[in-house]
């Protein structure tokens, strides 16, 4: 099994599943967590594939998938309703119209953009194209594991580089970890599950240097949560001709996780090479692309969603502080904090109380990742958490 859990952990988790309980799992208020040698084994968690194999019951608070409950926008919903009558048609022209919108905003050529149903098909396609037996992919650890999990499916090696003491990507160590087998370096910024960011200038320098040797994949799923995404994005570096793939999704701040729209930006040659490996435009539904066109760069909606996310996040920070817990300050719509009991038990106890969260194990500690939801969901979390902490 291509998994970050040991077989024993997985069996333990599966036993929980079949025993009738179906869920597994300001300034750094500061979690002292230096990268330890034990950390070199890599973090433990359920991969996306393992996690979503579970039955997930109705919950008071669905805080396990980094979705945005404040979306999609009203304009997007109306566009879906308006599009239904013509949904017998393939949406080819609408996909072209969406690419026009993206290229006009970003200053790109149309052949530098590949649309797909969410960004996952792009992550999977890149793993498929770049990672053959004997190849390797370098990632931070913990980071979003979907691409390297697929790389392992294709028998490539996953080289995991621990985060820095500040829980940020250790770009120097990642660069050192690249060897002659490395075909892809995966960067997630902001990083999932820690919601930390790397210094934009440092990342740009890293990409400029490293992309001369090996393809760099920059996953910007959460970039819309930053105050200045334009300063952070690597799209500018793609425009300079660098060998970088940038993945974007509507699943997060746009609230489209169930509608499935994403895209990649890369050199025309890379787009051409990857297209056969990704389920690209044919995986996109007509109503979804109409909704994306209606809400792309909708400043008012995006600002409102951000404001509500921040209010819920502040409430969460206060809850954690009041209970004597520290957390990693978040630059996205989720927060990671250290828990004081076994992670699996914590997740199960929260689930019994109608609150879905996830857990990770790294630096010899157990951590909860909680997504930012509506205020009523954060209140449900707080009530359950107070019973456990
Ligand atoms: N990249 C990151 C970092 C994610 O956290 C996720 C989903 O949670 C994805 C990509 C995939 O999202 P989607 O396929 O919905 O675009």
Q: Which residues line ligand 1 (CB under 6 A)?
A: 66, 118-120, 144, 188, 192, 219, 221, 249, 251, 257, 262
What's the mean per-residue pLDDT of the chain?
90
The CA-atom distances, in angstroms, between 227 and each of 78, 223, 230, 235, 300 are: 28, 9, 9, 17, 14
Q: What is the residue with the minimal CA distance to atom 2 of ligand 1?
A: 221
Q: Which of 154, 172, 144 is nearest to 249 (CA)?
A: 144
Q: What are the pLDDT digits (tens) for 287-310?
A: 999 999 999 999 999 999 999 999
- Token pair, residue 14, equals 């599966």
Task: Write out 108-126 in H/E/C secondary structure.
Answer: CCHHHEEEECCCHHHHHHH
3-class DSSP state for residue 179?
A: coil
Query: What mean pLDDT do residues 372-381 have?
Result: 98
Which residue from 119, 147, 225, 279 has its CB within 8 A of the most atoms of ligand 1, so it is best to mutate?
119
Q: What is the residue with the minimal CA distance to atom 1 of ligand 1?
A: 221
Q: What are the pLDDT digits (tens) for 174-226?
A: 999 999 999 999 999 999 999 999 999 999 999 999 999 999 999 999 999 99
What is d(CA 195, CA 368) in angstroms, rounded to the nearest whole number?
12
HSE on the CB side for 300, CA within 13 Å?
4
CB 266 within 8 A of CB 112: yes
Query: What mean pLDDT do residues 335-345 have?
Result: 96
* φ, ψ at 184 (rounded to 5°): -150, 135
CA of 216 to the centre of ligand 1 (A): 17
What is d(CA 137, CA 185) in angstroms, rounded to the nearest whole number?
6
**Phi-psi domain of 68 (left: phi exceeds 0; alpha: psi -120 through 50; beta: other):** beta
* φ, ψ at 332 (rounded to 5°): -145, -160
Give the DSSP H or E segment for 379. helix 375-388
Give the pLDDT of residue 54: 79
Q: What is the residue with the minimal CA distance to atom 5 of ligand 1?
A: 192
Q: What are the pLDDT digits (tens) for 14-57?
A: 333 333 334 443 334 434 443 433 334 688 888 877 877 777 77
Confidence band of 144 (pLDDT split at 50, 70, 90)? very high
Q: What is the DSSP string of 255-323?
A: --TTT--EEEE--HHHHHHHGGGS--GGG--HHHHHHHHHHTT-HHHHHHHHHHHHHHHHHHHHHHHHT
What is d(CA 89, CA 189) in angstroms, rounded to the nearest whole number?
37
CB 60 within 8 A of CB 354: yes
3-class DSSP state for residue 139?
A: strand
Which residue from 67, 221, 331 has its CB within 8 A of the most atoms of ligand 1, so it is best to mutate?
221
Find out whether the peptide bond into 72 is cis, omega within 30 degrees of 0: yes
Dihedral sign for Cα 84, 85, 91, 95, please.
negative
CA of 68 to the centre of ligand 1 (A): 12
Task: Report the predicted TM-score, pTM, of the whole model to 2 decimal places.
Answer: 0.91
Give the pLDDT of residue 124: 97
Find out whether the peptide bond into 340 is cis, omega within 30 degrees of 0: no
Query: What mean pLDDT do residues 136-163 have?
Result: 97
Nearest atom within ligand 1 for CA of residue 192: 3
HSE on the CB side for 43, CA within 13 Å?
28
Give the pLDDT of residue 41: 65
Q: How many CB atoms lie within 10 A of CB 268?
A: 12
């Amino acid at each position: 099994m291509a998994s970050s859990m040991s077989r024993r952990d997985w069996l333990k988790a599966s036993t929980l599943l079949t025993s009738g309980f179906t869920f597994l799992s300001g300034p750094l208020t500061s979690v002292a967590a230096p990268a330890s040698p034990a950390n070199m084994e890599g973090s433990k968690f359920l991969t996306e594939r393992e996690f979503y194999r579970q039955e997930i019951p109705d919950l008071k608070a669905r805080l396990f998938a980094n979705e945005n409950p404040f979306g999609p926008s009203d304009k997007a919903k109306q566009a879906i309703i308006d599009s239904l009558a013509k949904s017998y048609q393939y949406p080819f022209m609408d996909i072209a119209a969406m690419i026009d919108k993206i290229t006009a905003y970003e200053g790109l050529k149309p052949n530098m953009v590949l649309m797909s149903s969410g960004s996952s098909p792009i992550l999977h396609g890149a793993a498929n194209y770049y990672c053959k037996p004997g190849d390797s992919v370098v990632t931070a650890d913990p980071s979003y594991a979907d691409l390297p999990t697929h790389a392992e499916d294709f028998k490539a090696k996953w080289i995991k580089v621990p985060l820095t003491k500040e829980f940020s990507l250790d770009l120097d160590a990642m660069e050192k970890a690249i060897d002659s087998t490395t075909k892809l370096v995966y960067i997630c910024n902001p990083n999932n599950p820690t919601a930390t960011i790397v210094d934009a200038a440092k990342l740009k320098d890293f990409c400029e240097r490293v992309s001369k040797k090996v393809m760099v994949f920059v996953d910007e799923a959460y970039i819309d949560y930053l105050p200045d995404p334009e300063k952070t994005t690597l799209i500018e570096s793609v425009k300079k001709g660098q060998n970088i793939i940038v993945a974007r999704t509507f699943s997060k701040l746009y609230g489209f996780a169930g509608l499935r729209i994403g895209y990649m930006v890369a050199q025309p040659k890379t787009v051409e090479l990857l297209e056969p490996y990704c389920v690209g435009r044919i995986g996109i539904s007509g109503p979804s692309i109409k909704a994306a066109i209606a809400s792309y760069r909708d400043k008012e909606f995006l600002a409102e969603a951000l404001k509500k996310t921040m209010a819920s996040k502040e409430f969460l920070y206060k809850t954690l502080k009041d209970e004597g817990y520290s957390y990693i300050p978040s630059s996205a719509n989720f927060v990671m904090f250290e828990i004081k009991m076994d992670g699996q038990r914590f997740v199960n106890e929260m689930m019994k109380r109608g609150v879905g969260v996830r857990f990770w194990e790294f630096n010899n500690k157990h951590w909860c990742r909680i997504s930012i939801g509506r205020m009523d969901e954060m209140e449900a979390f707080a009530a359950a958490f107070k019973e456990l902490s």
